[in-house]
Chains A and B, each alone.
Chain A
Amino acid sequence: DGGITQSPKYLFRKEGQNVTLSCEQNLNHDAMYWYRQDPGQGLRLIYYSQIVNDFQKGDIAEGYSVSREKKESFPLTVTSAQKNPTAFYLCASAPLAGATNQQFFGPGTRLTVL
């Protein structure tokens, strides 16, 4: 089945530690995205990538880093510089060319900083 997988589903981190969230898609989509979701707020864009080896900052990139070495994979690292990292993180992908611009979402990773 085609889709987007995120792992792990739940992640706990101590303050001062970096942690990497995985996102993989087998939809052959060119574009991939990372969003952060906090209670009562909409989705905020962290980073996005339209092609391999290229990515752009979104609205709240500070304290995060990404890589796009393969078309299928777009891991997100939450660094110790992120002041309030506890949140629900969503990865999404989309065909770069398409009339509908629909995004497809993974199941999310809930990160908790202890």
Chain B
Amino acid sequence: GNSVTQMEGPVTLSEEAFLTINCTYTATGYPSLFWYVQYPGEGLQLLLKATKADDKGSNKGFEATYRKETTSFHLEKGSVQVSDSAVYFCALSDTGGYQKVTFGTGTKLQVIP
């Protein structure tokens, strides 16, 4: 079956530091890949997505590139802010008729001033 593995947290960074959160996946076919963000006490929000190999998703300074050869979708940001503190989930979605989404376990990011 499908699976998503992402680095365990928490990840603690100083403001303006560079962020990388690793994500690798196992899937058959050609899944779509996502990063969702969850702020404390809230639901998940889509941060960015990529639907085919070599696509780069980007939003709010975050980027991730769909690497089929390494089955990875690492999240990066050049300069984090305190407001980026949240839990980040990597996910993939089947391209079949039922759009089941498989989530990673989440990585908590803490940015300190």
Contacts and interface: CB of A to CB of B under 8 A. Distances in A.
A107 B95 CA distance: 26
Interface string A50-81: 10000010000000000000000000000000
Contacts of A103: 46, 99, 101
Interface in A89-114: 90, 92, 94, 96, 99-108, 110
Contacts of A42: 4, 89, 103-106
B84 interface: no
B105 A107 contact: no
Interface of A: 4, 6, 31, 40-43, 45, 48, 50, 56, 90, 92, 94, 96, 99-108, 110
23 contacts: A6-B43, A41-B105, A42-B106, A43-B44, A43-B103, A90-B44, A92-B43, A92-B44, A96-B99, A100-B49, A101-B99, A102-B34, A103-B46, A103-B99, A103-B101, A104-B46, A105-B36, A105-B43, A107-B42, A107-B43, A108-B41, A108-B42, A108-B43
